[in-house]
Amino acid sequence: MDRNKLDTMIEKEMFAYADMIKEHAFDFTMLYLNKNHIDIDRGVATKLLEIVQTAIEDGKISKIDFVKKKVSKHLDEWTETENPILPTSRLRKRPE
């Protein structure tokens, strides 16, 4: 697997993870409200949770480059220690 494919796969998995969190936050909160008989209008709760889901989606889109840079740095460091013979510059395809 080349580095571009790895980066794409990591991004895809991070997006899937954020989507799981988004759905879990909604489901968990609604179940918690029902189980604990919290006195809040379900329509209001749903609207608030939709706003939270939108915030998670926005964070997913706006923070992906920041996270990718941090992960990429760690992968580069790991690659250099695991395979010191192969320089990092050779791990990435150069734009043609």
Task: Decide if 14 contacts 62 (C-beta within 8 A).
Answer: no
Upper half-sphere CA count for residue 23 (Cβ side, 13 Å): 5
pTM to 2 decimal places:
0.69
pLDDT tens-digit readout, 54-96: 999 999 999 988 888 888 888 888 877 766 665 555 555 555 5
The string of pLDDT tens digits covering residues 29-60 is 999 999 999 999 999 999 999 999 999 999 99
